[in-house]
Each structure stands twice: as structure tokens, then as C-alpha cells.
Amino acid sequence: MAGAVLLAACGGSGGGGGATATNTKGGGAGGCAAGAAGSANAVTVAAEPDSGVATATGKCWASIKGTPITVVGTGSIPSGDATTFKVAWSAKALYVQAYSAEWPINAAGGANWWQSDATEYTVSGTDDHGGAFDSQTFQWGVISDGTLGAGTGASTAPAQPTPLVSKVANKGFYTQLTVPWSILGVTAPKKGQKYQFDLAQDYGDASGARVGQALWIGSGSNFYNSTTDWGDITLG
């Protein structure tokens, strides 16, 4: 695949130490289980125990280095509006977060939520890159006003994850999803497992029109319809 993210498990109080893109050695109780160094476009990501992902700026997320998304899906990326994302996992759930340095924030897209400032999370419990969405593959949009937009496949999801949005005045905003493994049809997540994953950031204006979209790996604005070009996340 064109890109991959390695994830370190969310541990308990006796977990290993934190790992970042430049530090893959563990150390320290209650921290992160170290992930293996990535290759090609891989990024090493770590997370702390479940309690550390409850807020957008908690210790869990602070220990992880963000991965930038730079592929232009449609339109153009507004100057200065860079976006990064982070991913973590535990035995209970997959955690995904994005930060967009965009201000002011617009949520005028209405029913067409992708025309607002929003993050598109495309997540799968499989890794076949076969193109079409299956029963374990979904798209959700987290809108900057804190609401959840259901995208491809999401109407058939067993449950809808609860979004988290945190705004930083004059600087940007975070979006976050906690996706229980049960939604993705995964019963026993463990190290070494790989899953399809991609992410996009939509940039809207006050009129409710999308002016641009940035992607991590996918090809073009239609990435939400096909898993072929998505990246991979590997549980580390």
C-alpha cells in the first residue's frame, strides 16, 4: 500500500512507555506499548490507557506525533490550513483524531455535511483493498459543529460512534471518533493485525460550499467509494 500507520496498543497501568515517530523504545509505567518502526510511508503511533483518549489534548494524544495529510482530493487547500491525524487502539476500540489549523470555522453545508469544515474518517475491520465497501467498512464525517454525518456504509453500522469536537479559538479545531471494535466486526484485536484506513479533511466556506479537500492516501475526492487506494493501519 502507498501508506501505512503502525499503532501501539493502549495499555493498562502497567503498560510500556511512549513511542513516537522518532522514538520507538518503550519505557515508563502506565504509558504506551512501543510500536515497531515503520517503512516507506509508515508512521509510528503510540497511545496511553483508555482514560487518556477522553479529551482531544489528553496525555494519550500528546505523546503521539501527528501524520500530515497533503494529497489534494478536490479544489485547493486554503493557505495555512494544514491538517494532521493520530490513531490509537485498545482492546475495546479504535481511536482516531484529526487537527485542522483552520480559522474561522464554517459548518454551513447542512445535509451535505462534506461541504462544511469536517473530517471524513473511513475505517474498516478488513484489509482486502477490494474496492467496494463491505459490512465491516464505513465512512463517517465529524462536522466542526460537533455533529456526526453518516457517509458510505454508515447507515448499516451496528451503532454510531460518538464524535468529539474541540475548538481552539483563532487556531483551529480537533475532531475525534471512538469506534468500538464491535462496529468493525473485529472480535479480538491484537498486534500485527492490519486494517484499511483513510482520512480526508473538508474545507468549507460561509456559503456552504466546499472549497477544497485534503487526503492522506486515497486518490481523488471519490476515495470514499473505493478502498483500493487506502492506506493501512497496523496494530503495534
Residue 14 pLDDT? 28
Tens digits of residue pLDDT in 161-217? 989 999 999 999 999 999 999 999 999 988 788 898 999 999 999 999 999 999 998
What is the Cα–Cα distance from 110 to 86, expressed in whole angstroms? Answer: 27
Q: Where are the beta strands (DSSP E) in 15-89?
A: 43-45, 67-69, 71-75, 83-89
Domains of the chain, CATH where assigned? 4-235 (2.60.40.1190)
Q: Cell 493485525 belongs to which residue?
A: 193
State the chain's mean pLDDT as an integer.
Answer: 80
Tens digits of residue pLDDT in 93-119? 899 999 999 999 999 999 999 999 999
Task: State the pLDDT confidence band at 33, using cuts at 50, 70 and 90.
Answer: very low
SS3 per-residue string spanning 76-143: CCCCCCCEEEEEEECCCEEEEEEEECCCCCCCCCCCCHHHCCEEEEEEECCCCCCCCCCCCEEEEEEE
Which H/E stretch holds residue 214?
strand 210-215
How many angstroms from the chain centroid is the CA of residue 72?
A: 17
Tens digits of residue pLDDT in 66-82? 889 999 999 999 888 99
Whole-prediction pTM value? Answer: 0.84
Give, in order, the Cα–Cα distances in Å from 203 to each of 6, 114, 118, 179: 27, 8, 7, 24
Name the nearest CA neighbour of 78 among 208, 224, 204, 218.
204
